[in-house]
Amino acid sequence: MHVYLKLLCLLVCLLCAGCDEESSVDLAMPQTVGDAIIFGSIDSGIDLDGALDQTSQMVRTDKVIDGQRVSINNGLGQVSFMVPSNALSITVIIWGMDDGWYGIDGWQDETGYALVPSGWPALEGNEAGCYRCNNFATQSAGVSTTIAPNRPGALINAGRHVVDIVGWVDGFAADEARVSVLIKQGPIWPATGTIDLNMYFTGAQGWTADSVQADPYFAACIDRVIDLYGRAGIRLGEIAYHDIDSEFATVSIEAGDDSLGRLVGQSVAEPHHGANVFFVDEILTGEIDFPSIPGVAAAVPSPPLLPGTVASGVAVATKGPLSVPPGNRFLDPPAIGQTIAHELGHALGLVHTSEYDGVTHDLFDDTLDDDNRYLMHADGTGAEISAQQIRALMANPVISHP
Ligand SMILES: [Zn+2]
């Protein structure tokens, strides 16, 4: 399938284009959600149920910094936080104005180990993100999310961590940025997890929050997602259904078009804080070769537990690419389920195992290059999820371990 071609490039172009926009849309300014978010049960180790999977039950996520306002001076600011000895993963979310540029400039722990070396964007080989880092990092328009560990060898050491952050708006240093830090902790890595989904309907395909729950085509799509993630030990939990305005039924990721950000900005806080999936008619690209694509993630990853931002979700097209004859569109609903699963992979932090260019690959050493049997290959048709990819998924706070 040709449709995911250059998706990453398109995403990068989109994000970069956002920096140059004059608009200052405050309507979708991110909202912080809750205070400490506790998943699962820790209960001082008392296990009343005698559950088989006690390890999983003792994995939880704490929000150690919750939307803190950090002053930016000359484009740079800093936060620090303590990491407990049983930390499994750390998620750092930095955000601000929709048209601002935010992210990590450096990240060091108290042993001197650099998850991300200071000033990484200037280092050779980091043009498309911090490939020369112990832990991959990017900077992005509106919102930047980094989850560690996200590649083999990235260490999570206990003690004080210091993160240098950048914030720019319209080419000038931002006044401030917002920062949240979430730490998932437990005795050992969980082998299983649960993801809740928040689904949003624009009226595309005639689907509404009510009607879709009785739609056999939609059920087939969800079954496909259950099948694919079940292979990774991740089950679907609660699904919340929302109707949103039909003005969002068509979005474009063409440079300078902010409709995807406005779409995913419609996400709202849910009790279960799942990943946000938006169903639209079409996702236009402005490209002649592939004018319409089946799915797109507004960011890789989406900011976990932070709805309402320009990065807070993925879009899935129900109509299919324009290259498909109208009579053939939507004849294979599980294919839409495949797209949901692939885009969820992006939302949870996975990049393509391989792009079509034959030279751009992910940073996992257990995914074969140029092999479309992987769910996260650029063509999006595969089913395989590697052990290291599963570890990266389990690191995400959106995956809970009840
Ligand atoms: Zn993709």
What does the domain layout of the chain look like in residue ranges?
2-185, 193-395
CA distance 98 to 188: 37
Cα of 244 vs centre of ligand 1, distance in Å, is: 24
- Give tens-digit pLDDT for 21-75: 222 222 222 222 222 222 222 233 333 333 344 555 699 999 999 999 999 999 9
| Main-chain dihedrals φ then ψ at residue 345, nearest 5 degrees | -55, -45
Q: Please say if the pLDDT value at position 302 is more than 90.
A: yes
Cα of 381 vs centre of ligand 1, distance in Å, is: 10
Cα of 6 vs centre of ligand 1, distance in Å, is: 9
Cα of 150 vs centre of ligand 1, distance in Å, is: 17
Two structure tokens written together for 304: 């976990």
Closest CA to 89 of 61, 128, 125, 118: 61
CA distance 6 to 3: 9
pTM for this one? 0.85
pLDDT band per the 50, 70, 90 thresholds, residue 273? confident
Q: Which residues, listed in sequence order, are joined to residue 89 by a DSSP beta bridge?
A: 184
Cα of 300 vs centre of ligand 1, distance in Å, is: 10
pLDDT band per the 50, 70, 90 thresholds, residue 324? low
Two structure tokens written together for 310: 């320009």
Cα of 378 vs centre of ligand 1, distance in Å, is: 5
When comparing pLDDT for 31 and 141, which is higher?
Answer: 141
Superfamily holding 193-395: Collagenase (Catalytic Domain) (3.40.390.10)
Angle between the N-to-C axes of helices 216-230 and 333-347, in degrees from 0 to 180, rounded to the nearest 10: 50
Q: What is the 3-state secondary structure (H, E, C) of the chain?
A: CCCCCCHHHHHHHHHHHHHHCCCCCCCCCCCCCCCCCCCCCCHHHCCCCCCCCHHHHCCEEEEEEEEEEEECECCEEEEEEEECCCEEEEEEEEECCCCEEEEEEEEEECCCCEEECCCHHHCCCCCCCCCCCCCCCCEEECEEEEEECCCCCCCCCCEEEEEEEEEEECCEECCEEEEEEEEEECCCCCCCEEEEEEEEECCHHHCCCCHHHHCHHHHHHHHHHHHHHHCCCEEEEEEEEEECCHHHCEEECCCCCCHHHHHHCCCCCCCCCCEEEEEECEEECCCCCCCEECEEECCCCCCCCCCCCCCCCEEEECCCCCCCCHHHCCCCHHHHHHHHHHHHHHHCCCCCCECCCCCCECCCCCCCCCCCCECCCCCCCCCECCHHHHHHHHHCCCEECC
Q: What pLDDT, on a 0 to 100 scale, did the predictor assign at position 353?
A: 95
Cα of 339 vs centre of ligand 1, distance in Å, is: 9
pLDDT band per the 50, 70, 90 thresholds, residue 290? confident
Residues 6+ apart with CB under 8 A from 284: 250, 251, 252, 253, 254, 291, 292
Q: Please say if the pLDDT value at position 301 is more than 80.
A: yes
The reply to whether CATH 2.60.120.380 applies to domain 2-185 is yes
pLDDT band per the 50, 70, 90 thresholds, residue 335? confident
Cα of 390 vs centre of ligand 1, distance in Å, is: 17
Q: What's the mean pLDDT in 305-328? A: 80
Cα of 297 vs centre of ligand 1, distance in Å, is: 8
What mean pLDDT is reported for the chain? Answer: 84
Q: What's the mean pLDDT in 333-339? A: 82
Q: What's the mean pLDDT in 97-125? A: 96
